[in-house]
A and B are shown apart, each in its own frame.
Chain A
Amino acid sequence: MIRSLLMPARLLVDFVAGVGQGALFFLRLCLLGLASLRRPRLVVDQVHFIGNYSLSIIMVSGLLVGFILGLQGYYTLRQFGSEDTVGLVVTLSLVRELGPIVTALLFAGRAGTSLTAEIGLMKAGEQLDAMEMMAVDPVERVLAPRFLAAVVSMPLLAALFSALGVLGGYLVGVELIGVDAGSFWSQMQAGVDWLDDVGNGVIKSIVFGFTVAFVALYVGYRAQPTPEGVARATTTTVVASSLAVLALDFVLTALMFGAY
């Protein structure tokens, strides 16, 4: 009887302890990530693996999303006779929301899973253990540079996504459909604020970068050192970071754009 009463308490305690553990790990990654600046070689290599290798998917997706927004935006706005604001609509959608979010989701799928798998496999192959036995902290040497690289890469990728999206919107709206180029750009310039819209979008992508990087590395670090364990861990990374990004986006949007 007592045992069944204690069970939920035990679960709660375990949950809170787990949250605490995660939070401490996050702090450790942030501090050590900053310290990795002392070894720029490691960080640059990781930016290459994480950022450069994601370039193709991000840029192509950005362009395609721009095409879609341009098309969909035009059809919808035409009903109100405001089709020359399509540039504004495309840009605001991208810069405020779609750029940061879609980039984060794609990033989680491409770079996040590869990070988790890499760390998980290193754990399975006793490499992290060996490093510790050689008196080198694996979190400092292996995880932190990857964390910093991911945090740096995300905002850059999101900016590229949005920029290409705007270009995509232009190609569809102006070149394909025939919206006036002048209106396209001027309406956009008048309505998109560099601080409120672009700036907030950048802040979002930075926050998402922290989120995806943390989830990917934490899940990989705690994975079961078996093939199934690593496979499960990569799935967890995608699911958890995607949900976290969307939830955080709601909070951030409310904070940033709800003030008015």
Chain B
Amino acid sequence: MLDCNLDSSDLDRDLLVLDHVRFAYRERKVLEDVSLRFGRGRIVALIGGSGSGKTTILRLIGGKLRPQHGRVVFDGQDVHRLDSAGLYALRRRIGMLYQFGALFTDLNVFENVAFPIREHTDLPKPLVRDLVLMKLEAVGLRGASRLRTSQLSGGMARRVALARAIALDPQLVMYDEPFTGLDPVSLATVSNLIRRLTDTLGCTSILVSHDIDESFAIADYVYLLAGGRIAAQGTPAQMRASDDPNVRQFLDGGVDGPIAFHYQARPIAEDLEVPR
């Protein structure tokens, strides 16, 4: 088990560190004292039940949410101390893949992937074209460059979104539920792509997912979130071998356990108005 007491030398080694982060939305506590580390070139999986705060962590990293306590340090910089120019510079080094792709519906496939390149660089047209085609080639969709977004299947849309996310060769790529709703073939394709891209680009990948089998197959390290805290962490092998009840319920798919089946309610006798 890794020690979560961090000193400044640790902060330099890892690309991204969340240090004792606490976040609440209105009155609801989402994250309580969460500390995570994401090493360079690693795939780190964040798993946990719905509403356990996984997507919140992604938003904190991107600077869209502000923690009430704690720090988010990206490549040595405190994300929430940056001014807007600094924040935008930071975001150019991060790529994000949304659950349903979030492709721009008024642009076609080519234009979608070209978007970040055109917005942030002054490269000449032929060079932009080559770059876009290369990124599409990496996800296997070079032939689809002229298609409109409405003509894409779910799996294809996600792959185009992936090409767009890596268009500027980011240092960090965040995947929000990349496996949800895909058929087995697309699943294998996406999973494969994530691993290959991380290796070839040398970027760090954060994988937020429910899918144990797929994520464990490619992740280097896993954090299990429950109740706003890190319930367990380790390599996939360590997690599979663990006997922590949180881990066991999640991995074994137990219906009831630390994550309760029943939503909070009064005793059923009171609710049903059963005559005494």
Contacts and interface: CB of A to CB of B under 8 A. Distances in A.
B28 interface: no
A125 B102 contact: yes
A141 to B, nearest CB: 8
Contacts of B94: 133
A125 B101 CA distance: 8
Contact of B96 (A125, A127, A130, A141): A130
B119 A134 contact: yes
Contact of A126 (B91, B98, B119): B98
B234 to A, nearest CB: 29
B89 A135 contact: yes
Interface in B102-132: 102-105, 115-116, 119-120
Given A122-B105, A125-B105, A127-B105, A134 B115 contact: yes
Contacts of B120: 134-135
B102 A135 contact: no
Contacts of A136: 115-116, 119
Interface residues of A, number: 14
Contact of A132 (B64, B103, B115): B64
Interface in A99-141: 121-122, 125-127, 129-136, 141
A133 B103 CA distance: 13
Secondary structure at chain A's binding surface: helix, strand, loop or mixed?
helix
B81 interface: no
Nearest to B64: A132
A125 B116 contact: no
Contacts of B62: 133
Contacts of B88: 135
B171 to A, nearest CB: 14
Contacts of A131: 104
Interface in A203-227: none
28 contacts: A122-B105, A125-B105, A126-B98, A126-B99, A126-B100, A127-B103, A127-B105, A129-B102, A130-B96, A130-B98, A130-B102, A130-B104, A131-B104, A132-B91, A133-B64, A133-B91, A133-B94, A133-B96, A134-B92, A134-B115, A134-B120, A135-B87, A135-B90, A135-B119, A136-B115, A136-B116, A136-B119, A141-B119
Interface of A: 121-122, 125-127, 129-136, 141
